[in-house]
Amino acid sequence: MVKNEAEMNWDALREHYSLQPLHLKHASECTALQLKQEGEWAAIQQKHALHEETTEPSTPPSPSATTRHAFEAAANAKLWEFKTKALAQQHAHELAALGEKQAFATLALAEKEAFETAALAEKHTRERSGSGAPVNGARQLQRSQEVEALRKQQLDERLALELRQKTELEAATEAVWIEHAVEDFLCKDAAM
């Protein structure tokens, strides 16, 4: 029977609100859990020690272990085959995208060259019609130098583009080769 707090003395109040019983209960539960875990660990260690003593290295694997290993090997082979196909498909898409990018760059350069050539021809036509004077040797030499400079610039740009595209293709091919080699190594390593 719980008394009114006003009627309880100091010792009774302290005992009533004390956490000591909860603490004792918690401590006993922790001790019991610890003993249970220690017992389980001891049983596991004993089981492993007994298993290590009875297993001989020359013992052939059990049929279930052999079946499991065969299943794992088959699963690894299927996984490797899937990864190889996926990697090949990914690289095919990447190389196709690179080819499209290079074709677009080549087409853009050709259009730029055509525009520059047409612009230079238009400039020379306007100079001829604007001055009304016949073309003299100095003016003809200047025009031919401009045309030659434009052709040289366009040739340099074309060579730079071809070199960049060749380098990109070689880098992509090397990356594909490296990824395939790594995937092959990882597959063989997983099968060991």
pLDDT, tens only, 137-171: 788 888 889 989 999 999 999 999 999 999 998 99
- Separation of CA 159 from chain center: 33
Reading the block at residue 98, the tokens are 């690179």
Is there a domain that residue 119 lies in?
A: yes
Cα–Cα dist 186/192, whole Å: 10
State the pTM of this model. Answer: 0.50
Is there a domain that residue 162 lies in?
A: yes
Is there a domain that residue 48 lies in?
A: no
Reading the block at residue 49, the tokens are 């020690």
What percentage of the chain has pLDDT greater than the value 90? 18
Burial zone of 5 (CB within 10 Å; 0-12 exposed, 13-18 middle, 19+ buried)? exposed
Is there a domain that residue 31 lies in?
A: no
* pLDDT 10s digits, 120-136: 888 888 887 776 656 67
Is there a domain that residue 175 lies in?
A: yes
User: Residue 139's pLDDT is what?
Assistant: 80
* pLDDT 10s digits, 36-73: 888 888 888 888 777 666 655 555 556 677 788 888 88
Is there a domain that residue 70 lies in?
A: no
Tally of structural domains, the chain: 1
Eight-state DSSP code of residue 57: T
Residue 95: enclosing H or E segment and its boundaries? helix 63-131
Is there a domain that residue 103 lies in?
A: yes
In this structure, are residues 76 and 191 in contact, taking their beta carbons and an 8 Å threshold? yes
Is there a domain that residue 26 lies in?
A: no
Domain range for 130: 79-192
User: Residue 156's pLDDT is what?
Assistant: 94
* Torsion sign, CA atoms 153, 154, 160, 161: positive
Secondary structure tally for the chain: helices H, strands E: 4, 0
* pLDDT 10s digits, 88-119: 888 888 888 888 998 999 999 999 999 999 99
What percentage of the chain has pLDDT greater than the value 70? 84
